[in-house]
Chains A and B, each alone.
Chain A
Amino acid sequence: MTILQTENLSKHFGKVKALKSVSMDVREGEVFGFIGPNGSGKSTTIRILLGMLSPTGGEATVFGMDAKNQAVDIHKRIAYVPGEVNLWPNLTGGEVIDLLMSFHGVKNEGRKKELIRDFQFDPSKKCRAYSKGNRQKVALIAALAIEPDLYIFDEPTSGLDPLMERTFQKYVKDARAEGKSVLLSSHILSEVEQLCDRVGIIRDGEIIETGSLTDLRHLTRTNLYVETSHTLENLEQWEGVHAVEQEEAGWSFQVDTEKMDTVMAELSTFGIRKIESAPPTLEDLFMRHYEGSGGGEE
């Protein structure tokens, strides 16, 4: 079942076209990773989903309800953590957590205490004294204590240390195990790889790729290094071969995963003496999509 859906969503700020056409969906019980370079429109999409911005065109629905007009009903079932958490300098962290929870009518003291302990958070300080990471913890603890049906996280761990990041990942996995849905925007690839069932890649206000990680890996390239007894010629003109570079004794290049078979067959006719391959990393996948955003190649 689809929990959250956008269809041809566009958003213009004056002349700036922040979103051109964003279509995506998050299904029940999955963790959906939302990735893309800086300024590609992730936060804008999320703000529309939260009813804070009205889209210029297209539609955004959550639980089948209109994101803007039925915001209050939607918000009863979601929790949101922004990337940049600003708090009231005169209130303490503990007060803010309670405040946010009571806006939801939630009074889950046990779970709150557990979260405060797990995130090693000191709730007695005034908010102006908290570091960026600690401010983020306030929002995370409140969101996780609310236990909604859908979590929306916009770069929730950008200020957390690795240990706390792990704590966060544990809670997301628990939530998923309980059948909750999660929309997670992140720049931390290992986090996305660990947590997400599916990812959507956005660039320049358009979704350019959606699918499970295994699906997307098909789109990546394998790094190869070969030395052959016969001289390799015109390698760069082979189909599915990229980034060819001559080394001292051989060649290194990249091969499209789906062309691997034909390339290998061809290579073997040259008498392979040595071959090294490096598996495609998620990094490669992302880099390919991130590079040249803002009017570069591709």
Chain B
Amino acid sequence: MFHNSGKLLFFLGKADRLRITVWLFSLTVITIAVPLAFGNLYPTQAERDVMAQTLSNPALTAMVGPVNFETYTIGTMTAHEMVLLTALVVGLMNILFVNRHTRVEEEEGLLELVRSLPTGKGANMMAVFLHILFINLLLVLLISVGLGVLGIESMGWNGSMLYGMVLGGSGIFFAGITAISAQLADNARTSFGIAFAVLMIAYLVRAVGDVSAETLSWFSPLHLSSQAEVYGANHWWTILPLFGVGILLFAVAGYMASLRDLDAGLLRSRAGKTTASSFLGTPTGLALRLQRTGIISWGIAMLLLGASYGSILGDLETFFEGNEILQQMLAGESSASFTEQFLSLLIVVIALIATIPALMSMLKLYKEEKSHRVDLLYAHPLSRFQFFASHLSIAAVQGLVMFLLAFAGLWMAGVAVMTEPFSFLTIVGAGMAYYPALLVMVGVTVLLIGFFPEKSGWVWAYLLYAFIVLYFGGLFEFPEWMEYLSPFGYVPELPNEDMTWLPLILLSMVALVMVTIGFRGYKRRDLQG
């Protein structure tokens, strides 16, 4: 049954070499850099205690997990700020890898090739499991050793090992989830969607749970990475359910795979229509139809994201009122300005996340080209401008809708939980100020599609950069110019700062110029196919 798993494993390793290197390298470097940075920025216990006071607020709890340590050492500080978020990223990495070696390869016909070779029926699932186990154990090794050899006093080997294992365990858990979703869905996109939704729900459930109802958090596997109390109590038992359930899920997935045919899914797709509605007969109609499920899912996700963050605004108010040290620290400032400060942070995080679906829609223009389907499309009397404009307008309108949904969710939840809620205009206005920045990101995507189409995926790296700088910029005291390398850095942080129109107008103009130049490149260049 598992005949030739070994050979398959070898091919998987070879095919993934670069991808594995980039992922593991980035994760390790960032993980090691954080405690070093903290050591420089907050060298004394007194400074760290002040940080602990500021950071242990509901907004941050929702994002990085609960405060469950006694002294804020470099170790506990690193674990508190980083373990959960890193586990989230490791989960995403595992989803991508497993989906690639199951559904994506099956779709591309590679698996058919493998099945025709003398390999056992379970060989592929076994090979994928061993492959993903190898990647995660390598990550554990790199992280544990990397943190251990730093030799920081509060970061002993025991904690460093647990740090790595918690990440590896979360990875295996979500790898298992993806192995299952790949059997359920009959195409790669749905399979990714299911696994990614599980990951996001796991994150949001524990966010709400950590802030208001701890029992709720226990429904989320990501909660275990907070519960491990790395560099504190070091609860080693937390990795057992992660690895155990992950392996169990793989076993179930292997069994499910043997039940179904190649290219089929256990969730059967419906028999289709034999004719198309006239709506489909335009480039915009087609593009919308192709992205329909994605757009709706993102819309719901944005509303939920906004609402989850909004639900902590009330706790934020009470938190401040009951915290005298903090009131002294921010002497003179009112509790309103404190909440506003965090509202600004929430809004920029939401704006960055809501940018993702708009960029995905824009990138679809190139994805369609790369998938050879344009061969069929461009031979019709449709200009390149029409294809371009349809994707651009979907991206731009979608960005607007996603912003509105997310910020409406934030506002509604805020109204429900706050004694002095923010007005609709304050929140939505503050959020919408980021819209020109979103347009610039779309513009960057267009430029890449126009001139370096193979490199268009780099826009994600740019968005990630913006995220890291804006989100961690304060914590790590990055130099100010780093913020100005991303369009989001120019936006006034409402309601904390005052409104200024000039940067927004300039950003919009930059976006317009980028789109115009990008389109000229797109119009002129060869289409791939």
Contacts and interface: CB of A to CB of B under 8 A. Distances in A.
B263 interface: yes
Nearest to A105: B381
B275 interface: yes
Interface string A69-87: 0011101101110101111
B322 interface: no
A182 to B, nearest CB: 15
Given A75-B381, A75-B382, A99-B280, A139 B376 contact: yes
Interface stretch (B324-332, B346-354, B521-529): B521-529
A99 B378 contact: no
A125 B263 CA distance: 14
Contacts of B525: 54
Chain B CB within 10 Å — which of A53, A75, A87, A103 has the most? A103
A128 interface: yes
A128 B185 CA distance: 13
Interface string B109-120: 000000000000
A149 interface: no
B373 A124 contact: no
A80 B379 contact: yes
A47 B369 CA distance: 14
24 contacts: A50-B379, A51-B378, A54-B526, A71-B378, A72-B381, A72-B383, A75-B382, A78-B379, A82-B376, A86-B372, A86-B375, A91-B272, A94-B273, A95-B273, A99-B286, A100-B380, A102-B280, A103-B281, A104-B381, A123-B274, A123-B275, A124-B272, A128-B186, A128-B263
The interface centre, meaning the residue of A82, A85, A152 with most chain B CB atoms within 10 A of its CB, is A82
Interface residues of B, number: 36
Instruction: Tell me the dominant secondary structure on chain A's binding face.
Output: mixed
Given A76-B381, A92-B272, A94-B273, A102 B278 contact: yes
Contacts of A52: 374-375, 378, 526-527, 529
B336 interface: no
Contacts, number: 114
Interface string B353-383: 0000000000000000001111111111111
Interface in B38-91: none
Contacts of A47: 527, 529
B281 A92 contact: no
Contacts of B374: 52
A79 B250 CA distance: 48
B300 interface: no
Size class of the contact patch on chain A: 35 or more
B187 interface: yes
Given A99-B286, A124-B273, A152-B379, 10 more contacts: A47-B529, A52-B375, A52-B526, A72-B382, A72-B383, A80-B376, A86-B376, A94-B272, A99-B281, A104-B381
Contact of A98 (B269, B280, B282, B380): B280
A39 interface: no
A132 B525 CA distance: 29
B373 A87 contact: yes
Interface of A: 47, 50-54, 71-73, 75-76, 78-80, 82, 84-92, 94-105, 123-126, 128-129, 139, 152
Contacts of B382: 72, 75, 103
From B286, B373, B375, B524, name the one whose CB has the most chain A CB atoms within 10 angstroms.
Answer: B375
Interface of B: 107, 186-187, 263, 269, 271-276, 278, 280-282, 286, 289-290, 371-383, 524-527, 529
A80 B281 CA distance: 18
Contacts of A152: 379
B interface, over-half SS:
loop
A82 B276 contact: no
Nearest to A51: B378
A87 B289 CA distance: 14
Nearest to B368: A88
Nearest to A87: B373
B31 to A, nearest CB: 38
A125 B272 contact: yes
Nearest to A79: B379
Contacts of A51: 378
A84 B374 CA distance: 12
Given A75-B381, A92-B273, A94-B274, A54 B524 contact: yes
B529 A73 contact: no
A232 B373 CA distance: 61
A128 B380 contact: no
Contact of B378 (A50, A98, A105, A128): A50
A102 B381 contact: no
A91 B379 contact: no
A90 B290 contact: yes
Contacts of A125: 271-272
Contact of B380 (A82, A97, A104): A104
Contacts of B375: 52, 80, 82, 84-86
4 smallest beta-carbon distances between A and B, as pairs: A102-B281, A92-B272, A80-B379, A98-B276
Contacts of A128: 107, 186-187, 263
A129 B261 CA distance: 12
A82 B263 CA distance: 24
A85 B348 CA distance: 43
B381 A124 contact: no
A59 B527 CA distance: 18
A91 to B, nearest CB: 7
Contacts of B281: 98-99, 101-103
A137 B25 CA distance: 47
A103 B378 CA distance: 10
B377 A103 contact: yes
Contacts of B107: 89, 128
Contacts of B371: 86
A107 to B, nearest CB: 9
Contacts of A85: 375-376
Nearest to B188: A89
Contact of A75 (B187, B263, B380): B380
